Copies of this chain bind each other. A is one copy, B any other.
Amino acid sequence: MANKEITIKDVARLAECSPTTVSRVINNSDHPVSKDTEDKVKAAIKKLNFSPNRIAQGLKSDKSNIIGVIVHDICDSYFAEMVKGIEEFISGHEYIVNIYNTSRSVEKEVHAVNMLKANRADAIVFAGGALMDKEYEQKMYTIIEQLKAQGTILLGITPHPFEINNISLGNKTAAKIVTEHLLENGHRKIAFIDGPKNLYTSFLRREGLKDKLMENGLTLPDELIFDGDFSFEGGRKAALKLMDKIDQITAVLAANDATALGLIWELNNQGIKVPADISVVGIDDLPEAKYSYPPLTTVSLPIYQLGTNIGKYLLENLKEKKNSKFNSIDLKLIKRNSVKDIS
């Protein structure tokens, strides 16, 4: 910017009319404009290749057209797919998709929300699971209240510890579904590779496993819970730790697919056969899940579709103002070849 910007006034001058008239033409206003001037204005716009300054429009209309999307890690296929789905739906409709990558840091997430507030974002999507942290909850609380007072649309994917429109993805259910599958295949001694400790999503998936085990009179001993961080690398490290207890288990549920994939890779690397020696399941159904050795049995959370549903929801609530409901997604067990029937 900084230099000379073409404004509505320049157009008005060229079309020999007032800025008001130009505005009316731009916005297809109901207010009548003669065909003649309309043509002149359009010609001028074309000639100058003018586009109205949306910043100024935003100031006037009290809308920024900014949609904030707060993500934990854009390099994680899970978030990349979701963002792509959102973008696909949104960017075509003159909204700005503003990404924040928080690496699950409280500080960065608070910063992101503050920025979005300062920029008067029309909507904010908390795309990642909530952080389980008192400081986080406290800091967020007041900002969220204010955002709500300003009329910002707030959407939480997965339950968040503040009152916004929280969409349940069925994390607990997803864990139950794969656990059930393991159980049906005769597995009783099941280990768990955890997600990030401070993440509510990890908690939910862990609970799903525990609940399903409990329903069947089984338990998840603490020593069969291994650290993880939702990443491929985390899965690899877990595999190394898991080796010691390999004779105590027949199957392992990884908190997400990325972890499961890393786990399988390192297990292979260590000469342990999946599923012959040990069965592995994940959660998410990432695109790459079908290309591991063996292909990963998992639960599909159709993330891209979730993204387009988010986009649709946002668009409807921002534009048409009607209080449209969110289309939730379906979970589905995806059987591939990483589970052995030992029953």
* Supplied contacts A55-B119, A74-B87, A99-B99, 5 more A-B pairs, CB within 8 Å: A54-B118, A55-B55, A56-B59, A96-B115, A98-B99
Q: 24 A–B contact pairs at CB < 8 A?
A: A1-B62, A1-B152, A2-B63, A5-B120, A6-B146, A52-B118, A53-B118, A53-B120, A54-B118, A54-B120, A55-B59, A56-B59, A74-B74, A74-B83, A74-B84, A75-B77, A75-B287, A84-B101, A88-B101, A92-B108, A97-B98, A98-B98, A98-B99, A232-B287
Given A1-B64, A54-B119, A232-B291, is A87 in contact with B101 using a C-beta cutoff of 8 Å?
A: yes
CA distance A278 to B265 in the complex (A): 23
CB neighbours of A100 from chain B (8 A): 87, 91, 97
CA distance A5 to B56 in the complex (A): 17
CA distance A293 to B265 in the complex (A): 10
A80 within 8 A of B: yes
CB neighbours of A112 from chain B (8 A): 91
The answer, among B65, B99, B152, for a CB contact under 8 Å with A87, is B99
The answer, among B1, B101, B150, for a CB contact under 8 Å with A2, is B150
Contact A51–B114 (Cβ < 8 Å): yes
Closest B residue to A149 by beta carbon equals B3
A142 within 8 A of B: yes
Contact B96–A66 (Cβ < 8 Å): yes
Seen from chain A, the residues whose Cβ lies within 8 Å of a Cβ on chain B are 1-6, 49, 51-56, 58-59, 62-66, 73-75, 77, 80-81, 83-84, 87-88, 91-92, 94, 96-101, 108, 111-112, 114-115, 117-120, 122, 142-143, 146, 149-152, 232, 265, 287-288, 291, 293
Contact A111–B92 (Cβ < 8 Å): yes
Contact B120–A55 (Cβ < 8 Å): yes
Contact A91–B120 (Cβ < 8 Å): no
Task: Output the least CB separation between A182 and chain B (Å).
Answer: 25
Give the residue among A65, A73, A80 with the most B Cβ atoms within 10 A: A80
Given A87-B99, A96-B96, is A122 in contact with B55 using a C-beta cutoff of 8 Å?
A: no
Contact B5–A150 (Cβ < 8 Å): yes
Give the residue among A64, A111, A232 with the most B Cβ atoms within 10 A: A64
Closest B residue to A293 by beta carbon equals B293
CA distance A92 to B2 in the complex (A): 23
Contact B49–A142 (Cβ < 8 Å): yes
Contact B80–A75 (Cβ < 8 Å): yes
CB neighbours of A2 from chain B (8 A): 62-63, 150-151
Contact B59–A83 (Cβ < 8 Å): no
CB neighbours of A108 from chain B (8 A): 92
Q: What 7 A-B pairs are tightest by C-beta distance, nearest first?
A: A2-B151, A51-B118, A3-B151, A75-B80, A1-B62, A87-B101, A54-B118
Closest B residue to A91 by beta carbon equals B100
Closest B residue to A63 by beta carbon equals B1
CB neighbours of A87 from chain B (8 A): 74, 99-101
